[in-house]
């Protein structure tokens, strides 16, 4: 029997079980970390002591995982984008097309190099950047197209690959939310010039902070290697006690290196990624199936023909008219309380995002916000913000066979008693 009183109003919650913790340490990660600690080398810029660095070991393991030719570990996801942009020579006067609904780093890294982010709307079905709208936004100044495989759904790479070839504009695939997703037989990140990854705490593979850039192009690889280590690359001649990096300076680099500790963690965590992705997929499929019997709520389109998605934040789309037209923020609070799970609205559209402030960054030479934002019209991103909620992928690692059913029960309950959902002022309580 469903309790008629919503948990948000003091009633009994639908689910009081525990959701899995994220991230998870384990014995092998601990051992790897301790090995780095006592190795005498904590950075790739430390001396070579006869052992391959953890950074090189992770580079190789992540290349093998993705079936890419090359991998450059970097300090975080933002530096993966920055080093890819630097490697492509993006700078002042250039434009880079970025999604209108994603983390701000996609636009702010472009700004950081003095180039102009051109914000383009997303498709409503999977919330990835729209190929038609990207096509319409291309100008003579377009130096790169940055797409995001949003929430683990795979962007329309058929269209983007063709567009990139026809227009001669490189693609940067931001795979920060899609470690292990596939397009046909290829892993995401291997189709464009670069695949960029974040290994920040919330991501599917993490070392707290961390990142990587993969590519199949040997020249671009050497440029990214330099971009992230002040213009240096690994030397083929190494001598015990001496630094393993040699100076090249073909691009203006910066220090965006991943430490040995982070590499040691990633090396072990990577071994769990595939099985964790499978568990998440099993629960996600179950949830998607269960949602078929609920009017007014559906997931975004994860399973598109020819793609294998992964599940980062699981996104639910609401028909608010079936919830007494309550705001998505109010629904977020009510649903979170029923499930003892943090469920929240997704990104604000980039042109309204409080952390996207191009007018405060003068390197691009455009001084007025109006000038930078001219022509930015992203109604789908706005609608998605008003109608979607997401919960973290760790919930999909649950081993409780009833957990997905409870989610659907909770959704049905708040729908039935939607008139009682308190207004949004309470959101700050989360
Ligand atoms: C997390 C994320 C980033 C930024 O990664 P950091 O490691 O936080 O710098 C960039 N793009 C997308 C799509 C992300 O999800």
* pLDDT the model gives residue 359: 86
Are the C-beta atoms of 150 and 122 separated by less than 8 Å? yes
Mean per-residue pLDDT for 243-267?
98
pLDDT for the residue 391: 97
* Residue owning the nearest CA to atom 3 of ligand 1: 77
Instruction: Out of 96, 103, 266, give the residue to mutate to test ligand 1, the one with the largest number of ligand atoms within 8 Å of its CB.
Output: 103
Burial 15-28 (b: 16+ CB within 10 A, else e): beeebbebbeeeee
Cβ of residue 75 lying under 6 Å from some atom of ligand 1: no
Confirm or reject: Cβ of 76 under 6 Å from ligand 1.
yes
Task: Check whether 428 has a pLDDT greater than 70.
Answer: no
Ligand 1 geometric centre to CA of 420 (Å): 37
Which ligand 1 atom lies nearest to the CA of residue 312?
15
Helix axes 403-416, 260-291, angle to 10 degrees: 60
Query: 104 pLDDT exceeds 60?
Result: yes
Ligand 1 site, residue 102, Cβ cutoff 6 A? yes
- Among residues 318, 324, 343, 339, which one has the least CA distance to residue 393? 343
- What pTM did the predictor assign? 0.96
Tokens of 288: 């998607």
Q: Please give the average per-residue pLDDT across 376-399, as a whole number.
A: 96
pLDDT tens-digit map of 293-323: 999 999 999 999 999 999 999 999 999 999 9
Among candidate residues 67, 59, 76, 132, the one with its CA nearest the CA of residue 256 = 76
Nearest atom within ligand 1 for CA of residue 105: 10
What's the rounded mean pLDDT across residues 173-185?
A: 98
For residue 370, what pLDDT band results from cuts at 50, 70 and 90? confident
Q: Is the CB of 409 under 6 A from ligand 1?
A: no
Computed over every residue of the chain, the mean pLDDT equals: 95
Closest CA to 124 of 319, 379, 328: 379
- For ligand 1, the distance from its centroid to the CA atom of residue 174, given in whole angstroms, is 8
Backbone φ/ψ region at 206: left (φ over 0), alpha (ψ -120 to 50), beta: beta
Structure confidence at residue 368 (pLDDT): 74
Which residue CA neighbors atom 2 of ligand 1 most closely?
176
Q: What is the mean pLDDT of residues 320-345?
A: 96
Q: pLDDT > 70: what percent of the chain?
A: 98
Residue 18 confidence (pLDDT) above 90: yes
pLDDT band at 125 (very low <50, low <70, confident <90, very high): very high
Instruction: Write the residue with the smallest CA distance to atom 4 of ligand 1.
Output: 77
In short, whether 83's Cβ falls inside 6 Å of ligand 1 is no
pLDDT tens sequence across 191-209 = 999 999 999 999 999 999 9
Cβ neighbors of 281 (< 8 A, separation 6 or more) are 309, 310, 311
**How large is the average pLDDT for residues 254-270?**
98
The confidence score (pLDDT) of residue 425 equals 65
Question: 106, 200, 315, 390: which to mutate for ligand 1, most atoms within 8 A of CB?
Answer: 200
Pairing assessment for the beta strands 116-120 and 95-99 based on DSSP bridges = parallel
Choose one of 100, 150, 198 to mutate for the ligand 1 pocket test, by most ligand atoms within 8 angstroms of C-beta: 198
Q: Whose CA is nearest to atom 15 of ligand 1?
A: 176
Confidence of residue 426 (pLDDT cuts 50, 70, 90): very low
Strand runs labelled E in 168-290: 171-174, 182-183, 186-187, 194-198, 211-215, 232-234, 245-247
Q: Is the pLDDT of residue 430 over 50?
A: no
Between 79-83, 161-165, 227-231, 373-377, the lowest mean confidence (pLDDT) is in: 373-377
Indicate whether residue 105 lines ligand 1 (CB < 6 A).
yes
CB of 198 shorter than 6 A to ligand 1: yes
Q: How far is the CA of 198 from the centre of ligand 1 (A)?
A: 5
Q: At what angle do helices 218-228 and 77-87 cross, to 10 degrees?
A: 120
Instruction: Kindly indicate the confidence band of residue 83, based on its pLDDT and cuts at 50, 70 and 90.
Output: very high
Give me the pLDDT at residue 4, please. Answer: 67
Give the lowest-confidence range in 173-182, 366-375, 416-425.
Answer: 366-375
Ligand 1 pocket check for 177: Cβ under 6 Å: yes
What's the gap in Å between 43 CA and the centre of ligand 1?
23
Q: For ligand 1, is residue 347 a contact (CB within 6 Å)?
A: no
In the reported structure, the alpha carbon of residue 392 is separated from the centroid of ligand 1 by a whole-number distance in angstroms of 15
Which pLDDT value is given to residue 418? 96
406 Cα–ligand 1 center, Å:
31
Query: Which residue among 78, 80, 82, 155 is best mutated to probe the pocket of ligand 1, counting the most ligand atoms within 8 A of its Cβ?
Result: 78
């Amino acid at each position: 029997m469903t309790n008629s009183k919503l948990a948000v109003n003091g009633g009994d919650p639908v689910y009081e079980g525990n959701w899995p913790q994220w991230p998870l340490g384990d014995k092998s990660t601990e051992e790897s970390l301790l090995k780095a600690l006592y190795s005498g080398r904590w950075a790739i810029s430390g001396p070579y002591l006869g052992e391959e660095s953890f950074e090189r070991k992770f580079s190789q393991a992540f290349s093998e995982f993705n079936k890419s030719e090359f991998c450059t570990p970097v300090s975080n996801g933002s530096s993966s984008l920055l080093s890819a942009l630097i490697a492509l020579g993006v700078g002042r006067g250039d434009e880079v097309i970025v999604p209108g609904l994603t983390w701000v780093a996609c636009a702010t890294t472009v700004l950081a190099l003095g180039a102009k982010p051109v914000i383009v709307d997303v498709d409503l079905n999977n919330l990835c950047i729209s190929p038609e709208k990207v096509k319409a936004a291309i100008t003579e100044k377009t130096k790169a197209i940055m797409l995001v495989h949003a929430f683990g759904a795979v962007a329309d790479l058929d269209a983007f690959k063709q567009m990139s070839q026809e227009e001669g504009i490189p693609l940067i695939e931001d795979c920060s939310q899609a470690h292990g997703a596939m397009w046909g037989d290829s892993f995401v990140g291997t189709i464009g010039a670069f695949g960029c990854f974040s290994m920040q705490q919330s991501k599917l593979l993490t070392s707290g902070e961390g990142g990587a850039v993969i590519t199949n192009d040997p020249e671009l690889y050497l440029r990214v290697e330099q971009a992230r280590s002040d213009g240096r690359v690994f030397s083929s001649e190494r001598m015990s006690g001496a630094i393993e990096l040699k100076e090249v300076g073909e691009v203006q680099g910066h220090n965006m290196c991943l430490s040995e500790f982070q590499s040691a963690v990633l090396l072990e965590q990577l071994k769990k990624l595939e099985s964790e992705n499978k568990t998440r997929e099993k629960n996600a499929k179950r949830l998607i199936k269960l949602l078929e019997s609920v009017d007014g709520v559906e997931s975004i389109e994860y399973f598109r023909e020819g793609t294998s998605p992964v599940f980062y934040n699981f996104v639910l789309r609401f028909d608010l008219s079936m919830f007494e037209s309550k705001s998505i923020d109010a629904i977020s609070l009510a649903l979170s309380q029923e499930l003892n799970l943090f469920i929240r609205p997704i990104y604000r559209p980039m042109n309204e995002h409080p952390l996207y402030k191009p007018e405060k960054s003068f390197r691009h030479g455009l001084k007025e916000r109006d000038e930078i934002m001219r022509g930015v019209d992203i109604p789908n991103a706005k609608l998605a913000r008003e109608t979607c909620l997401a919960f973290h992928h760790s919930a999909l690692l649950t081993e409780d066979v009833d957990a997905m059913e409870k989610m659907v029960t909770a959704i049905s309950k708040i729908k039935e008693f939607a008139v009682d959902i308190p207004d949004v002022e309470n959101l700050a309580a989360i």
